[in-house]
Structure 1
Amino acid sequence: MARIVIITHEHDRFLGRRNLMLRRGSPYLLFDVLEDLKRRGHSVRIQPGPSKICDGDIAVLHVDATITPADHVDYARRFPFCLNIGAADISKRHISGAQISQGDAWQGPVIVKSNLNYQGFPERLLNRRSKRAGKPQPFPHLPTLQPYEVYGSVGEVPDGVFENDDLVVDKFIPEREPDGFAARFWVFCGERERCTRYVSPNRLVKASETIRRETVPVPEEIRERRRELGFDYGKFDFVMHEGRAILLDANKTPGRPQKLMKMFAAGAADLADGFESLIRQAR
């Protein structure tokens, strides 16, 4: 049996508050995987920040921020093996395969996004908790929140957007359907995975707001992108466009959508199998 250490940010709440049944919950998908691993006999320790030295056979770098602070990465290197130690940067500029520049010849619609994952909401939450604890904000220079905006062409993008390092401009290329739009979500841990194509009536496809879904294969170019980005565990959002797989988003701390919690929990045992295979590889 393995001693598993989950490295989080000091002010992250990996474990949520107890509910009326006095059960622990979590906003993160990894929680369900760890619960299954504990039932198999593995021990799990949540380590908030790099302040304390602890022993473990395998660790997971699970810092819910776009760019993992360097001291957390250094701390993770102390362990014999650490999942996602190579995936410290998930900014859109680093991961997106749909980015364009102002001079590109792209004639279709575009979407303006925050360079930060989830518009920087995780960083804002960590800043608030740090402030309440009387400590310096870990992410003091966050840009103003801006919703994603879709434009009909590059020419419609407002002045200054392309020069703004806090924003990225992507091709807007969801898979069009007669009744909406589609995107693909690949969740993986080691060699275990599930990849689902979701169809939504909304242009910005979210797994929790869909009208149907189907299991689909993972294209080899997306697998290669995972290797390049250093992901052992996580979730990739991608689309098929003109016969090519285009990565749109990568998440190293995927959540558990309330509307899909039962489905996500049902797949936790398979992801736990993938985690155990990584344990064997580490040994």
Structure 2
Amino acid sequence: MARIIVITHEHDRFMGNRSLLLRRKSRYLLFDILEDLKRRGHSVRIQPGLTGQISADVAVLHVDATMTPADYLDYARSFPFCLNVGAADISKRRISGALLAEGDGWLGPVIVKSNLNNQGIPETRLNRRSRRAGQPAPFAHVPALSAYEVYQSRDDIPDGVSEQHDLVVEKFIPEKEPDGFAVRFWVFCGERERCTRYVS
């Protein structure tokens, strides 16, 4: 059976407290996959932060941040096989297919968002926990959180927004519903998959 190590940020709480039934829980989907791997006989170790070399057959880099710090990438590469090393930058400027470019001719509504994944909430959380531990914020560059704004056209965007490096402007292409909008999530691992649709 495989020895699996999951590398998390030193201030991340991959697993939450035990429930009333004394079961562990986590906000991360990877947790359920790891629980299944344990039931199949694999050993799993959660490794918060960077430590000396630990022996493992497979490592999973799971730093909950838009851009994984270089020292975590170096540590992850020290293992014979590591998942997620190629996903070290998931900023919208890097992965979005809806970014507006000058002269692209888009005439529809637009949305102004943080360049960071999930509005930078994970980085804000790690900064807060780091400060509580008496350490410097690992993501000191994270701007204050602000709501996403939708505009009817590019011309309606306030002056200066397009020049702010921490913001991006994307085409707003919603899946409309009578009561609001729908969003879809597709989660997969190997031959298993799940697609969910939420309306708000």
User: Counterparts in 2 of 1:113-128, with a 5 A limit?
Assistant: 113-128=113-128
- Equivalent in the alignment of 1:47: 47
State how 1:160-239 maps to structure 2 within 5 Å.
Answer: 160-177=160-177, 180-196=180-196, 198=197, 200=199, 202=200
Following TM superposition, by how much is the alpha carbon of 1:7 offset from its aligned partner in structure 2, in angstroms?
A: 0.3
- 1:102 Cα shift? 4.6
Larger deviation: 99-108 or 132-141? 99-108
Q: How many residues align?
A: 200
- In 1, the alpha carbon distance for the partners of 2:39 and 2:56 equals 18
Runs of 4 or more, structure 1, over 6 Å off, are none
Instruction: Give the conservation status (yes or no) of the 8 Å contact 1:65–1:122.
Output: yes
* CA–CA separation in structure 2 for the residues paired with 1:160 and 1:102: 15
Query: Match of 2:91?
Result: 91
* Residue 104 (structure 2) pairs with residue 104 (structure 1): yes
Query: RMSD value over aligned CA atoms?
Result: 1.6
Residues in 1 aligned to 2:39 and 2:157: alpha-carbon distance in whole angstroms: 52
Q: TM-score, normalised by structure 1?
A: 0.67
Q: Closer, same or farther in 2 for the Cα pair 1:199/1:137, shift >3 Å?
A: closer
Q: For residue 145 of structure 2, give the secondary structure of its aligned residue in structure 1.
A: coil
Change in CA separation of 1:89 and 1:188 when aligned onto 2, cut-off 3 Å: same
Give the distance between the partners of 2:102 and 2:194, measured in 1 at CA: 36
Q: Secondary structure at the match of 1:86?
A: helix
Partner SS, residue 144 of structure 1: coil
Counterpart contact for 1:116–1:166, Cα < 8 Å: yes
Tell me, what secondary structure is at the counterpart of 1:193?
A: strand
Matched position secondary structure for 2:193: strand
Report the Cα offset of residue 188 of structure 1. 1.7
For structure 1, list consecutive stretches of 5 or more residues without a partner in the other structure.
Answer: 203-283
Find the aligned partners of 2:169 and 2:45 in 1 and give their Cα distance.
40
Deviation, 1:180, is: 4.5
Local SS of the residue matching 1:155: helix
Offset, 1:80: 1.5
Displacement, 1:184?
3.0
CA distance in 2, matches of 1:67, 1:120: 10
- Answer yes or no: is 1:23 the counterpart of 2:23: yes
Kindly, what percent of the aligned residue pairs are identical? 72
CA distance in 1, matches of 2:177, 2:143: 35
Which amino acid counterpart does residue 44 of structure 2 have in structure 1? V
